[in-house]
């Protein structure tokens, strides 16, 4: 199939996030902006997970959706047993080699709120590869069931920040507001006592 000539820039919406991608890939077949969008949609649906991630990164100019998963554990659990449960779950998730977890980071936290309440949880931060949050939380719940942790985990939540780049990854790595200083200090002390890293990269 012959490649149509590059469409005039004025035929595309002003400040379109597609422009740079379009002009960097002149071999893409299209006759109109609508046809180009159809092509991009087709690629996003049919590409494998890694290529889909690269496509979305290009379209968003390097700013994909940032996603933060919070896995909350039974607040009645003592530190050592809860960390053992956290380790079991994360070992299972990492071993599954899910595409959406690629290049993600995670951390174990134990205190939250202004009252510095005992609230053990795992944060996992990733950049979107186009999967719905329900699909990814579904993966997590499957591993919770596989490791028989249903009685120790009471919630799995996902927060999405649109085109936020590394915002949630930075958060998991320790870039938090001053209002969380006391919780951070208590978390760090417990991590030190239990020989836990501040965060882990996947």
pLDDT (tens digit, 9 = 90+) per residue, 96-118? Answer: 989 899 889 999 999 988 777 89
Q: Tell me: the pLDDT tens digits for 119-149?
A: 999 999 998 877 888 889 999 999 999 999 9
All CATH 3.30.70 domain ranges in the chain, comma separated: 66-201
Mean pLDDT of 160-175: 86
- Look at residue 33 and tell me whether its pLDDT is greater than 60: yes
Instruction: Count each helix (H run) and each strand (E run) in the chain, helices first.
Output: 7, 5
**Which of 16-20, 26-30, 107-111 holds the top average pLDDT?**
107-111
- The pTM of the full predicted model, rounded to 2 decimals, is 0.71
Nearest 5°: the CA angle 67, 70, 71 is 140
Report the distance separating Cα 31 and Cα 201, nearest Å: 44
182: number of Cβ within 10 Å: 13
Given this model, what pLDDT does residue 101 score?
92
Write the CA distances from 179 to 60, 112, 150, 201, integer angstroms: 31, 11, 32, 25
One of 3.40.50, 1.10.10, 1.10.150, 3.30.70 is the CATH number of 66-201, namely 3.30.70
Query: Residue 1: pLDDT above 60?
Result: no
Contact 119, 42 (CB under 8 A): no
Return the pLDDT at 3: 38
CA–CA separation, 133 vs 154, rounded Å?
Answer: 18
């Amino acid at each position: 199939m012959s490649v149509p000539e590059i469409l005039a820039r004025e035929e595309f919406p002003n400040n379109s996030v597609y422009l740079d991608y379009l002009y960097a890939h002149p071999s893409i077949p299209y006759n109109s902006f609508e046809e180009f969008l159809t092509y991009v949609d087709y690629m996003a649906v049919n590409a494998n997970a890694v290529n889909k991630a690269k496509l979305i990164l290009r379209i968003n100019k390097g700013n994909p959706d940032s996603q933060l998963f919070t896995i909350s554990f039974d607040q009645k659990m003592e530190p050592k047993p809860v960390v053992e449960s956290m380790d079991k779950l994360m070992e299972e998730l990492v071993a599954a080699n899910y595409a959406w977890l690629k290049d993600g980071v995670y951390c174990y936290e134990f205190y939250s709120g202004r009252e510095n309440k005992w609230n053990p949880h795992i944060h996992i931060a990733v950049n979107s590869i186009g999967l719905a949050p329900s699909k990814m939380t579904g993966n997590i719940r499957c591993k919770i069931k596989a490791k028989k942790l249903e009685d120790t985990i009471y919630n799995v939540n996902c927060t999405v920040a649109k085109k936020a780049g590394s915002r949630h990854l930075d958060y998991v790595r320790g870039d938090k507001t001053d209002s969380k200083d006391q919780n951070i200090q208590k978390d760090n002390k417990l991590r030190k006592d239990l020989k836990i890293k501040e965060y882990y990269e996947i």
